[in-house]
Structure 1
């Protein structure tokens, strides 16, 4: 049974993985046997994250590039082609948050959130899927959504639109690529203790709201997403396609 979840011999690219959820997912995939490629926009932070994994005996290397830049994404995959690196698993995790009421939101900020959280997933997956299809061996794509893939909240309109788009982009990927043995699915994290959410954790009113509105009465931890990611990246999910699994402590189950 454990062989179903074994990622040995597979290479996984995790975008936005120098810290937070991305780093936890990369570490989890590496612990399951994958060789992981860490990504971020700053070469020094990516190198530090790679060193942390390598110090634990895990297979990791990194490549810094901007996932919102189409040419930079294409160049990264071209270099991997030249180096003989095949991306078997893609985790589209890169994302940012920006809080402001819609009536005050500048177009540039809207576009920045959409590009980082949604368009980047399209750009990276397109390059990965082209190669998966050409190889004929299939592959795994896991997009990171959010509770806001399903439910809205005030002041995060751009993020909500992007993460709702992730859910439907995942289904579109499944519709087009399932026949090539590519499984495209998504994870919808709940409120997770990350650096990005630290201002919310430090806000007593918001912290109390998260705990009171969630049946689990607590924030989630990044490592609690690893099991779902490994499942969706492994042979155990070979007939699961176009789905989004919410890992939210039960938040969406209640009103």
Structure 2
């Protein structure tokens, strides 16, 4: 992908394909920024993915904390069962009702449909529930209560510091899924300046040809935020995935 982004449009169609870097990087970059508002689309993807990830981390961990702490709360088993069961519903099954609801809210051609509905992430709640249940003993909540800590104080000062690896793993998975999401942005976004990067790159395709080098260059640049996030969070990400496998 990186090699093709440095070669000319003529070279990428040669057989065998080029396996060395070319000298057309600047020309490809110029066509990329002329074809689409690349940096605006890049910012849109960063904003949507980052905002959604923060909401998912907070809501998922806070809901999971409630399920773990209040094990005898009325209706807990029913709510937990509904939450787990919703994971098995295919997203396509609710696509039309979802679109109608977004339209009734006046959110078409805005970023809110890509941020607010995914924040209620059943997989995220289940993930954090399993992590909190295994990482924090029940006696910890009782000790915090005896010391006079409120529910919010217990969550923020005790639970969150102990579940950082789980949050890191969930954060990277959520950010990645949001970053590469193609279907829902395609349905709700029409303004070119509001498109996320995966949708915007398709605009480099015409009726008769596709600017392969420009698309490859845009795709190569689009993975940089994911690589940066993973590099900084890799230690916590691996710890979150392997937690519980070794006592």
Name the TM tier (shorter chain): under 0.3
Structure with more contact order per residue of length (Cα contacts < 8 Å, sep ≥ 6) = 2
Q: TM-score, normalised by structure 2?
A: 0.27
Q: TM-score, normalised by structure 1?
A: 0.27
Structure number with higher strand proportion: 1
Structure number with higher helix proportion: 2
